[in-house]
Amino acid sequence: MWAGIVTGSIALTADAWHTLSDSISSVVVVVAAKLSSKKADKEHPFGHGRWEQIASIFIAFILGIIAYSFLMNSIAQFRNREAVQYGLLAIVVTAVSIVVKEALAQYAFSIARKSGNMSVKADAWHHRSDALSSVVVLAGILFAKRFWWIDSALGAVIALMLFYAAFAIIKEAITKLLGEEPSGKLIEEITAEAKKVYPSNMQLHHFHMHNYILHQELTFHLRLDNKMSIEKAHDITNEIEKKILEKFEIMATIHVEPIHF
């Protein structure tokens, strides 16, 4: 931020605010992790795991606001034909910034892989996009003497990178909130487990996953022999649900339909 003020660079100042937003988003992640760890209660029978998605949306919202602000400032600077003199200070500050930001990104990605925490992953991408924006700034600084408009262009590029990061984060969060179809691999594995319970003719279809992060619900339809008794169909579905819970840690609810031969 200091280097941006001294040089009058929108690109450096935008990069500084991008870094500051990392701190804000990290605080949001910590709060969301605390809230999502609360156990299920009467008002929230599926737990509080979706606080992670809510936190991710909030992070994306912050990124979008920052991106819009710097895009407008870059356009205004370009229209006024304002040039910026960077100097050695800008080069050193930006280079150090790149190394530190990428180190933070790698650390956050490592935690996300171990925990499966979506908001930590969003935070890691925030650090990564910040490091990449600094790379763009550093490249631009080296060509600043040849192109008067480089700072305006860099500011706009960083703003667009921020917009993209916000879009990617919010898209993933909304997909989880709205519900999603299980992967083909998971469907195959569940079908294989069901066949172990009842190897005779049956059909599984209409899969829907309800992801509450710390708790997952799966619903699907199961077609069985139309001459089978209700009691036997109930026993089969119960056993399949138990196997799914034991192997995949997913709570399944099965709707039975008749197969007409």
* One domain, residues 167 and 190: no
pLDDT tens for each residue of 197-233: 988 888 898 888 877 666 778 889 999 988 889 999 9
* Integer Cα distance of 132 and 243 in angstroms: 45
Q: Once rounded to an integer, what is the mean pLDDT over residues 17-38?
A: 72
Distance between terminal CA atoms of the chain? 73
Residue 44 has pLDDT above 70, yes or no: no
Q: Which two tokens stand for residue 68?
A: 């819009």
Residue 246: partners with Cβ closer than 8 Å, 6 or more residues away: none
Q: Whole-prediction pTM value?
A: 0.58
**Backbone angles phi and psi of 205, in degrees to 5:** -160, 180
CA within 13 Å, CB half, 110:
6
**Cα distances (Å, whole numbers) of residue 153 to 8, 33, 60, 147, 183:** 15, 37, 23, 10, 41
Per the prediction, the chain carries an average pLDDT of 80
* Integer Cα distance of 120 and 111 in angstroms: 7
> Which CATH number belongs to the domain containing residue 215 in this structure?
3.30.70.1350
Which of residues 178, 195, 216 is at a domain's end?
178
> Which CATH number belongs to the domain containing residue 57 in this structure?
1.20.1510.10
Which of residues 178, 207, 231 is at a domain's end?
178
* One domain, residues 33 and 126: yes
* One domain, residues 172 and 202: no
Task: State percent of the chain over pLDDT 90.
Answer: 12
* One domain, residues 208 and 168: no
* One domain, residues 97 and 211: no
* Integer Cα distance of 12 and 133 in angstroms: 10
Q: Which residues pair with 219 in a beta bridge?
A: 208, 253
* One domain, residues 34 and 65: yes
Task: State residue 200's pLDDT score.
Answer: 82
pLDDT confidence of 251, banded at 50, 70, 90? confident
* One domain, residues 66 and 131: yes
* One domain, residues 124 and 203: no
Question: Total domain count for the chain?
Answer: 2
Q: Which residue has the higher pLDDT, 235 or 86?
A: 235
Q: Once rounded to an integer, what is the mean pLDDT over residues 172-201?
A: 82
* One domain, residues 193 and 154: no
Q: Which residues pair with 203 in a beta bridge?
A: 223
* One domain, residues 165 and 191: no
pLDDT tens for each residue of 97-150: 889 888 988 998 898 888 877 767 877 877 787 787 788 778 777 777 777 787
Nearest to 205 by CA among 192, 217, 187, 193: 187
* One domain, residues 92 and 140: yes
Task: State residue 40's pLDDT score.
Answer: 65
Which of residues 130, 145, 178 is at a domain's end?
178
How, if at all, do strands 203-211 and 251-259 pair?
unpaired
211: containing domain: 184-259
Residue 83 has pLDDT above 80, yes or no: no
* One domain, residues 13 and 100: yes
Task: State residue 240's pLDDT score.
Answer: 93
Residue 254: partners with Cβ closer than 8 Å, 6 or more residues away: 219, 220, 221, 222, 237, 240, 241
